[in-house]
Each structure stands twice: as C-alpha cells, then as structure tokens.
Amino acid sequence: MEGVREPRVRKLNIIGQRNIFFAISLLIIIPGIVSMATRGFLLGIDFAGGTEFTVSFAQNPSLTQVSNAVAAENDNGSVIQTGNGGYILRYPPLTPALQKQVEDDLQTRLGTANFSQVLEVGGTIAGETIEFALLAVVLAAAAILFLLAIRFRNVPGGWRAGFQFGGSALFALLHDVFLLTGVFSIIGKVLNLRIGEIDSLFVTAVLTVVGFSVHDTIVVFDRIRENLRVSQRLSFEQVVNLSIMQTAARSIITSFTVVLVLAAILIAGGTTLKGFALALLIGIVSGTYSSIFNASPLLVVWRRLQPLR
Amino acid sequence: MQFVLSWPVRLFVVAVLAFSLFVDGAGYIYRIANHYSLSGNVPGLPPNFGGWQLYIHKGLDLAGGTHIDYQLTNFPPGQSRADVQQRTIQVINKRVNALNVSEPEIRGGGANNDRITVDLAGVTADQAQKAIGAVSKLVYTKWVPDSNVTNGPEPGYKPALVGLEGSDITSATASIDQTGVSWVVNVNFTSAGGTTFANLTRDNVAACPGDPNTVATANCPQRHLAIWLDLTQKDIDNWENAAYVSAVSSTYNPGCLAAQTASTVCGKFLTDPITLQEIDGGQATISGSFTQASATDLATGINSGSLPVDLVVLDVTQVSSTLGAQSVKLSLAAGLLGLSIVVLFMIIYYRVPGLLASIALLFYAAAVLAVFKVVPVTLTLAGITGFILSVGMAVDANVLIFERFKEEVRAGRTIAAAVDAAVRRAWPAIRDSNTSTFMTCVILGFVGPSQVKGFAITLGIGVVASLISSIVVTHNLLAIVMINSSLRRPSLLGVDRTRSV
C-alpha cells in the first residue's frame, strides 16, 4: 500500500522568470494600443451604418473593372475582393429604391450578378448597436467587479490582500481586452483585412472571452489562497508558483478543447463568421496565458511592493 | 452525490436520451422506412404530433430570406399607438400573404410602439418591400344608372366617386354584434368624413326609400355604397367592358396590385353594403353573414387603404437561399469536425475516462438538439457557433472531474471513493466556471441585437445542459464502468499507480 503522495507536478519557475512573460505580453499589446490610438478600427456596418452587397458575377470581371463600375455610379461605393471570386461592395445607407437601382446598374455594367447577401443598416439602428455595446460592456464590468469582490473578501491578510488579489485579476482581464482589440485594430486597419471588422459579434466575443478568462484567474487564485492557509513555511512566491503548477494543467486543457472547436469553425465554417471565430480564438488563448503568466506574477510583484501578513 | 447514482436518476437519464434520440431521429427513421431520400422536402414531414411539429427552425441566414425593420412615423393624435401598430401589423400581414411565404413573422416592438419587424423566408428584399410598401387608396362610390353595363356587382349601374376616401376614415375593426353570434365591421370616420358620410347615406335613403328588408328595396342599387381599393376614374370609364368589369370587381388582390403593369387589371373590390338608414354619428357598422375571419379580412382591407402612419425602413437583411444552404452545410461540417477532434483528444489523453466523457458528450449534443427542436429555438449562424462553443466548454467540466480523479487516486483512495470525491470536489469549480459564462449569456441575451441574442441563447442552453451532463451522465458512466475491475489498470486510467484494493 502506498502512502499519501504529494501530487507530482513539474517544477517550472514561472514567478522567477516573470519578466520574460511580462515582456511577451507588452510586445503584443503595445503595438496594438498604438494602432488603436492612431488608426482606430475597421468598423463594420453594424456600427458605421451603410449598405453592403455580397455579389458574384457570372462573367468574372476583374477588381479594376468592378471598382470602375462602382465609382461610375457616384454613390460613394467601395469594393473589397473576397477569397472565392466574389466581391463585397460597401455604400452609405441606401433607400430601398436606390438599392434596387444599384443592383440593376451593376448588372447593366458587369453582366448577370448573383447577390448572395444584402445588408443595410440605417443610422438609427447603428446608433442602437453602439448603445448596446456600451451597455453590455458596463453591465459585464459591473458583474465582474461584483464577482471578484465576493470571491476575494476572505483572503488571509485582510481587505488589502483582497484588493491585491482582485486588482491583479482585473489587470489580467484588461490585458486580454486590450490584446484582443489591439490585434483586431492591426488586422483591420494596418493589414486591411476584412476579417478584422468590428461588429456586434466582436463585442460579443470580447465579453464571452472576459467571462471565460475571469474564471480561469479565479481558479488559480483560489488555489493560492488554499495553499497560503496550509503551507506556512513557504514564501509567498513559492506558494504562488506551486499553485500555478497545480492548476495549469486543467486551465490549458480546458482552453485547448475550446481552441480545437474554434479552429474547426475557422477551417470548415463559412466566411460569414470567420471574424467572430478568430476573435474568440485569440481571446481564449490570451485569457489562459494571462491567468497563468500574468495574473499571478502581478500579484507577487504587488505583494513585494506592499508586503502584508 | 450518491443520489446521482441512484436508479431513479439513471432511469431519468435513459428516458431523456430516448426522447432526444426520438426527437432528433424521427424524421430520418420516417424517411428510411418510406424509402425517401435523406434530405430535401418529403411529403409528410416534418413529423407532426397533433400540431406539434418537430424540426430545426432555421433563422434567415440559414433558410434564406429577408428581414426588415420598419419605423412607424407620423402617428395621428388621438389614437392609441398600440392600436395603430396592431392595425399596421394586420395590414402588412395581408399584403405579405400574397407572397406565399411559409411562416412569415411580423412582430411589433419598440418602447413607443413604433417598430415593426418583418421576417420573410424565401423572398428578396425587393419583393418584400414592394408588397409591404404598396400604399392603397380606399374610395367610396355610389351607383348611377348606365344601361350599357352588363357585368359587375350591379348590372345596369356603374360606380361614381363621391369624394369619400381613405383619409376620411380613422379605423375599421371587426367585432361581434349584440346578438353575440354574427360578426360585423365597424368603420370610424373623421369629423369631416362623418359629415360627408351622413350626406351620402341621406341621399341613399332618399333615392330608394322603403324598408331595406323588403326584396324590392334591397335590390335597389342606389341604396348601396360600395368600397374599393385603388379604384380610379379610368376603371370607371371602362365599366361597360364586361371582361374588365368582372376583373376589377373581384376581391381586392394585394399581390396583383403590387405587381401590376399598364395592362393588368386587378381585383379592387371590398364590399357593397346596403344603407339601412341615415348615419350621422361618424360611425358605421357593416353587417352581413360575416364570420370572424371574413370580418377581420374586410376590416384589414379597409385599414390598408387608410393607414395613418408612414413606414420608414430602418435596416434590411437579405440572404439568398443558396448562401443559406451553403452556410448550413459548412456549419454541419465545422460542428462534426470540432466534435471529432475533441473526442479524439479526450480518448488519447484520458483513455477510458476520456471515452466515457465522449459518450457523455454525445448524449449532451443529442439532448441539446432535441431542446432546440422542442422549445423551439430558431437557429442562426451565430447560434450554431454558440452551440459548437458550448460543446468545447462542456468538456471542461469533465476535465475538472478527471483531473481531480487522478489526484484522488494518486493520493491513495480506492477507485469508487476517488470517483465520488472527484465529482464532489470538482463541483464548486464547475459551478463557478459556468456561472461567469452564463452571466455573460444573460447580459447579452437581454441587451443584444437579435444576432447576438441567438448566440447567447444557444450558449446558455449549452452551459446548463453541460452542467447536467457532466454531473449526472459522466459521473454515472464512470461509476458503472469502474465497478468492472478489469478496467482498473492504471495505464487505462491515465494515472501512475492505483491502490490494489
């Protein structure tokens, strides 16, 4: 019969090498923030309003021909070429009569066209979508602060310690949000790829990711709390490191399965939701990374600056 | 936790599984049994159990069709906004009927009763807007003698415009009369309209006096006032043409009117009631052998010629049915691919428990799809993404249980005790992780636009289902299988060593 064994975990010194991990994060986030500040986002019609035609032509005209045709209409249209021989034409909001006119006009100039999708969003609805985004973000932020406050009210070290735990978790969240929005700003405005478009589903992705990530962080911090109570002889750093080791396996595997299904959607799913799947993918990876490599080291640094216990 | 392993719970799980398989598979079994193909339209489907139909409700981006949001502007003062909105919905409904759409959805909304949403499968935005935007003009006519008229509702007479039209009417409603048996249509006039109407009815009675219930008076056309939609002077000028008259005098046809060219003649007739007496109260009641359906129909017809509000298009979404079908295929492919990868990973990494979790996952997927058919939940592309995402997240609960299970086994517990402890210890973490996701779903479901709502609903249902599936199904499978000692070898369980007892 074997006696009780300590769980066999690999020992990696994450806390000791925390500066490397901070550097990796900053490497991605800082260009993202710069891009957001200088170039902003590629806004989809959900937020900007407008009319969008997804069209393929029987005679397969070139991009130049299509651009010329659109320019000749004098309707302020712009053209993007999609991967599979079709085009996406974007106009400011058009009335139903004008929509029909544009469709007929294009067919006259470029031959038979198949309009697989027509989306039109007027200014009122665009304004409402922006309102939804802001409201959802505010509600989610409130809910998360509430969640963190509840979970970290009984930490050894009093309310100041609780503040350190909650604050570090919050910073990890902000890391995820800024990383995701920054990366999409770069994809949309610097690389000019349509997949980087910001629409209401992008906001959904950000909030879903945040919900996922806050839980990951709480799991690690719960373990830290548990271990702080039982091991008095280890230093704070050592406790945190141990806790990470114990919970990392589960965090990574959980995120891994979600990443697998998202990759399946990216590969096999249609083009319509590729941006959504990509946002979720980046967000979940970032969320796991931040819980393991950012939140806990932050806590250690904070504890160093403001020693308690 | 022992309760979960008891036989009532297991029986319940088996029942749910059987029901889910039935709901999911009934259609396919029917097809195979009757030698039909496995896809496409087949007579007798979807399975219908006393009006309760079972099939996956597809949103417009999967079925193809048009979605339009309208804003109602220029509400007339003095009328209840909810009333006006309701009437407008009925009018749009009737106009849309001409398009022969299956399951058209027309809903009112907006905090001020000023929004209407229209969802029509299988039509283009252009067709939809032509049908809905068709403005009809209602006109009253009296009958004047014309011996050359051989056809129409009053042979020997032709209509004459009297200057009473849609703008003089505030509303028309269908209601049941005092006897409580027959239905009537009440027409309310504006004050100017009421005066005109009073004069007309007085002239009617004067032209053909007598008791309207006698045959002689009843057959006197000058005692009648006819109501038409879009009748023009040009139509009246052609009244001596028998074929023309019979076409125009057929019941008003919104589909024909929306698509009419210079040469088509569409039905424009609504009703031709006799005036029983002079009416000067500004309100008239049209009675006859109306059923509820025919009365409502007439009221809607009258309303559509006197709609007091303007419809402004707020947004339009049109998806072609080919794109819709393609999206369905791709989503299915993505879903199957995702499921297979996850199952493969689970079996490789966790071995026997992984296999059990995969079985639990299949149960989970079948149950959720059955829920989608039964509730029903309208699936959109975003909704399907939410479902696939929830499959990935459903694995999380199983992972938590298995990691705990490995820890408990390493710590020296017996297998049975390890299973029990694993589920018990993992439950708080499972509960909390799904809470934050569920919280996000609730926020998005309440606040978000319809596309986001679809995602939030499917993800939310998935989260709840995965909670149940992991605690009940995986737990039971683990317990049942682990009783079999041949499967207790460490290598099959993915741990280093186990207690021999």
Q: Which domain holds residue A255?
A: 18-43+125-305
Return the beta strands (E) in B342-479 as ranges.
Answer: none
Q: Which residues pair with B73 in a beta bridge?
A: B310
Burial class, B301, CB count within 10 angstroms (exposed 0-12 / middle 13-18 / buried 19+):
buried
A1 within a domain of the structure (yes/no): no
Give pLDDT tens digits for B190-214: 888 888 888 888 888 888 887 777 7
B203, B278 in Cβ contact below 8 A? no
CB contact under 8 A, B317 and A120: yes
**A114-150 burial code (b ≥16 CB/10 A, e <16):** ebbbbbbbbebbbebbbebbeebbebbeebbeebbee
Q: Which residues pair with A121 in a beta bridge?
A: A50, B315
Rounded CA-CA distance B351/B345 in Å is: 9
CATH code that applies to domain B65-134: 3.30.70.3220
CB contact under 8 A, A118 and B411: no
pLDDT at A83 over 80: no
Give pLDDT tens digits for A243-260: 888 888 888 888 888 898
Chain A partners of B436 at a C-beta cutoff of 8 Å? 144, 147, 211-212, 214-215
pLDDT at A278 over 90: yes
User: Count of alpha carbons within 13 Å of B220, Cβ hemisphere only?
Assistant: 19
A121 touches chain B (CB under 8 A): yes
pLDDT at A283 over 80: yes
Domain at B2-57+320-493, CATH homologous superfamily: Multidrug efflux transporter AcrB transmembrane domain (1.20.1640.10)
Average pLDDT for A62-83? 81
CB contact under 8 A, B439 and A254: no
B72, B84 in Cβ contact below 8 A? yes
pLDDT at A157 over 80: no
Choose the final residue of a domain: A121, A146, A171: A121
Rounded CA-CA distance A274/A272 in Å is: 6
Q: Which of B333, B385, B407 sits opposite A273 (nearest CB)?
A: B385
The length of chain A in residues reads 309
A145 touches chain B (CB under 8 A): no
B417 touches chain A (CB under 8 A): no
Rounded CA-CA distance B198/A18 in Å is: 90
pLDDT band at residue A287 under the 50/70/90 scheme: very high
Give pLDDT tens digits for A176-192: 999 999 999 999 888 87
Q: Which of A136, A201, A222 sits opposite B382 (nearest CB)?
A: A201
pLDDT band at residue B457 under the 50/70/90 scheme: very high
Question: For residue B460, what pLDDT is reported?
Answer: 92
B250 touches chain A (CB under 8 A): no
**Pair (A28, A59) in one structural domain:** no
Per the rule left: phi > 0, alpha: psi between -120 and 50, beta: everything else, B180 is left
Tell me B75's DSSP state: P
User: How far from chain centre, in Å, is Cα B87?
Assistant: 18
Chain A partners of B411 at a C-beta cutoff of 8 Å? 4-5, 7
Give pLDDT tens digits for B171-193: 888 888 888 888 888 888 888 88
**CATH architecture for segment(s) B138-305:** 2-Layer Sandwich (3.30)
pLDDT at B219 over 90: no
Listing DSSP states for B118-151 in one string gives EEEET--HHHHHHHHH----EEEEEEEE-TT--S
A136 within a domain of the structure (yes/no): yes
Rounded CA-CA distance A12/A161 in Å is: 25
B310 touches chain A (CB under 8 A): no
pLDDT at B139 over 70: yes
CB contact under 8 A, B392 and A258: yes
Choose the final residue of a domain: A86, A121, A156: A121
A118 touches chain B (CB under 8 A): yes
**Pair (A261, A136) in one structural domain:** yes
Q: What are phi and psi of B50, to 5 degrees?
A: 60, 45
Question: For residue A1, what pLDDT is reported?
Answer: 42
Question: For residue B44, what pLDDT is reported?
Answer: 63
pLDDT at A79 over 90: no
**Pair (A115, A129) in one structural domain:** no
Chain A residue with CA closest to B500: the answer is A1
Chain B partners of A207 at a C-beta cutoff of 8 Å? 440, 443-444
Chain A partners of B447 at a C-beta cutoff of 8 Å? 132, 135-136, 139
**Pair (A92, A135) in one structural domain:** no
B347 touches chain A (CB under 8 A): no
**Pair (A163, A290) in one structural domain:** yes
Q: Per the structure, how many domains does chain A have?
A: 2
B250-259, B295-304, B398-407: range with highest mean pLDDT: B295-304
pLDDT at B5 over 90: no
Rounded CA-CA distance A97/B226 in Å is: 34
Question: For residue B149, what pLDDT is reported?
Answer: 84
Choose the final residue of a domain: A121, A145, A176: A121
Please give the torsion angle defined by the CA atoms of residues B33, B35, B37 and B39, in that order, rounded to the nearest 10 degrees: -20
pLDDT at A285 over 90: yes
B289, B273 in Cβ contact below 8 A? no
In chain B, CATH 3.30.70.3220 sits at 65-134
pLDDT at A8 over 80: no
Chain A partners of B323 at a C-beta cutoff of 8 Å? 54, 116-117
A72 touches chain B (CB under 8 A): no
Give pLDDT tens digits for B319-360: 988 888 888 888 888 888 888 888 898 888 888 878 888 888
B353, B494 in Cβ contact below 8 A? yes
Q: Can you give the pTM of this predicted structure?
A: 0.81
ipTM for the complex shown: 0.86
In CATH, what number is assigned to the domain containing residue A157?
1.20.1640.10
A66 within a domain of the structure (yes/no): yes
Chain A partners of B318 at a C-beta cutoff of 8 Å? 115, 117-119
B332 touches chain A (CB under 8 A): no
CB contact under 8 A, B319 and A116: yes
